[in-house]
A and B are shown apart, each in its own frame.
Chain A
Amino acid sequence: MNQLNQVVLIATGINTCGYIYDSGDGGPEGSDNVSEISSEILRRLEEFVCKDRKIGKGTERAMGGSLSSLLSGSLSLALCYVQKVFRSGAIHPQPRILCLQASPDGPEQYVAVMNAIFSAQRSMVPIDSCVVGVQHSAFLQQASYITGGIYLKPPQLDGLFQYLAAVFATDLHSRNFLQLPKPAGVDFRASCFCHKKTIDMGYVCSVCLSIFCQHHRKCSTCGSEFNQAPREPNSASETIRKA
């Protein structure tokens, strides 16, 4: 809550994502008038949705199934902007990213989202998540846990502004003194590549790190043959411990 704070809005569509609003860009008259700014934002959002729909019409996507938004794209845009601020400014800001998401996770974006999360962790940018959709988002849970942000699924959507103001608007220093929603059971289990079911014990290929639920003769991802019988790795690790 500071005059010097800066907000940037990025919209995520199904096929594209783009910048909607940047408070640092403010024209001479637009900086004080909130209603003007909000109508401008709404107008740009509608333009964005139309453009996104037009782009989506060309390609055939699964109709009727749950479509996911391009979370990886918008996280990348946000991180680019943060890097730009780090490189150009003399002041040291403490940036953070807030993701407001309603659509479900798209499993095809897993690698890209994880890369974005590790990049944010390295630059020390917390990713907060506010899930307003029907189900929990595993990607955002992991994102907030790894980067040190807050994950929240508000039980009452009527009071959304209250959640946003009380939980997400606080700066990083004040968060140490507040009772913020604690992460309840982040699911870090992996899913096997053959059946896509979540497993808590499995086999990992030592060459390409693909996860399987049963022992196979050959890795389906990299083609390496496992000609040795599953020798228990416990004996080797026990000898290391004893030595």
Chain B
Amino acid sequence: MAHGGDGGSGRKGDERTENEDEDDEEDEENGGRDLEAWERAYADERSWEDLQEDESGLLRPIDTKTIAHAQYRRRLLQRSVHGTSRIQKGLIRYLYVVIDLSRAASETDYHPSRMSVVAKCAGTFIREFFDQNPLSHVGLVTIKDGVSQCLTELGGCPDSQIKALMGKLECSGDASLQNALDLVHGYLSQVPSYGHREVLILYSALNTCDPGDIMETIKHCKKAKIRCSIVGLSAEIYICKHLCEETGGLYAVALDESHFKELLLEYAPPPPAIAEYAIANLIKMGFPQRGAEGAISICSCHREAKIGGGHTCPRCKARVCELPLECRICGLTLVSSPHLARSYHHLFPVTPFNEVSHTLPIRLQQKLPQNCFGCQQSLISHGMLFFFHMFCIWYVHVLSNVYISV
């Protein structure tokens, strides 16, 4: 009995230690998989390396703003060098955003999953898109289980698109590039001829499962003058590159979350227009007046009585709530002059300027003013402050082309 008990307890002890060993081993093996996302930030990404000490010994993160701003200015300079003559831009755009919801989108290399990062960045992109292109339309399409479906139709208002993105999205199945392109081709061929037709595909998968010949589809898209651009999340794929080259779009692959957002936001400003793609046309538009404060009328968008505010269509006198919109009764495009004015900075770009180095000889320094004309801050001393005033000068230049006598 005692033996058995001892043996039993001994065995149990052994088992326990064995279990503990196993657990330890499992922990070590599953170390990567079982860690929470916040733990991974320390284990894998070494977030403490992002901190720096400033002069007084206090911690502050690496100033990425200056680096980002330097990159932005470099890009701006490149653009202006390549296009000192004004390039015609496609201002009236009809864009479909295709989101890949195949099983590759449930990967967790982007926190918490590729699909949620894509949905969030797409929401930001749509707001920025309507900010830069108020007269354009956006629609959403998803690819799931090898089939593509239209999530929202082409619309001029960001709210319905963002509401659809925030809803429940599930990933499963394969991705099919051909089906997405066929669907988008069908919708975009109904768009008026003066509009620029574009597709932006956010592709997570590494393959495409197509029912037919995708090269034929690409030829159809090229013939229909649709400009396809792709932002990949996994790796560069030949068929995506071929599609973008054939249709005149851009292909980029994101390295991480912030790079993905940066790449996506590059598609917001209007791209240079390919001349044959859109026919110049005069579009009939209405400029409605804002209604009187106390007037009661039934609005055509919500179909309920509203008091005050709102705009009246000049052709059919229907009341609409917000602009820009297409009147539901008579189909006239209704805009207000600030919407057109928003696009003027694409038509009149900033003239390039030269940076003045802060390490100037003393005699020149004495001739220059001591304070920044824009914000009255002192220009003398370290390069950081001088960088501010580059921003000031650039800012003022952009706003009003004021001549600064420096």
Interface size class, chain B: 35 or more
State whether the Cβ of B298 lies closer than 8 Å to any Cβ in chain A. Answer: no
Interface pair A142/B347, CB less than 8 Å apart: no
Interface size class, chain A: 35 or more
Could you say which residues of chain B place their CB within 8 Å of the CB of A155? none
Which residues of A approach B to under 8 Å, CB–CB? 19, 22, 72-73, 75-77, 79-81, 83-84, 87-88, 109-112, 114-119, 122, 142, 146, 182, 184-190, 199-209, 211-212, 215-216, 219, 222, 224-226, 228, 230, 232-234, 236-240, 243
Cβ distance B76 to chain A, nearest Cβ, rounded Å: 16
Could you say which residues of chain B place their CB within 8 Å of the CB of A76? 374, 395-396, 399-400, 402
**Looking at B330, B373, B395, which has the most chain A CB atoms within 10 Å of its CB?**
B395
Query: Which B276-295 residues have a C-beta within 8 angstroms of A?
Result: 278-290, 292-293
Q: A209–B134 Cα gap in the complex (Å)?
A: 12
Interface pair A80/B283, CB less than 8 Å apart: no
The DSSP consensus for interface residues of chain B is loop
Could you say which residues of chain A place their CB within 8 Å of the CB of B208? none
Q: Which residue of chain A is the closest to B287 with respect to CB atoms?
A: A189
Cβ distance B400 to chain A, nearest Cβ, rounded Å: 4
Interface pair A209/B289, CB less than 8 Å apart: no
Q: A13–B105 Cα gap in the complex (Å)?
A: 59
Partner of B376 from the list A22, A119, A206 (CB cut-off 8 Å) is: A22
**Looking at A182, A224, A239, which has the most chain B CB atoms within 10 Å of its CB?**
A224
Cβ distance A72 to chain B, nearest Cβ, rounded Å: 4
Could you say which residues of chain B place their CB within 8 Å of the CB of A215? 282
Which residues of B approach A to under 8 Å, CB–CB? 88, 91-92, 131, 135, 153-154, 187, 190-195, 273, 278-290, 292-293, 314-315, 326, 330-333, 336-338, 340-345, 347-348, 372-377, 388, 391-392, 395-396, 398-402
Could you say which residues of chain A place their CB within 8 Å of the CB of B187? 240, 243
Known: A76-B396, A190-B340. A200 touches B288 (CB 8 A): yes
Interface pair A201/B332, CB less than 8 Å apart: yes
Q: Which residue of chain A is the closest to B135 with respect to CB atoms?
A: A209
Interface pair A233/B283, CB less than 8 Å apart: yes
Could you say which residues of chain B place their CB within 8 Å of the CB of A228? 193, 279, 281
Interface pair B279/A233, CB less than 8 Å apart: no
Could you say which residues of chain B place their CB within 8 Å of the CB of A243? 153, 187, 190
Q: Which residue of chain A is the closest to B193 with respect to CB atoms?
A: A228
User: Can you name 20 extra interface pairs (CB under 8 A) apart from A79-B395, A114-B341, A188-B288?
Assistant: A75-B400, A81-B376, A83-B391, A84-B388, A109-B400, A111-B341, A115-B345, A115-B398, A119-B395, A119-B398, A185-B289, A189-B287, A201-B284, A204-B282, A206-B91, A206-B92, A206-B194, A222-B88, A237-B326, A237-B333
Q: A230–B388 Cα gap in the complex (Å)?
A: 50
Known: A84-B392, A201-B286. A19 touches B92 (CB 8 A): no
Could you say which residues of chain A place their CB within 8 Å of the CB of B280? 205-207, 219, 222, 224-226
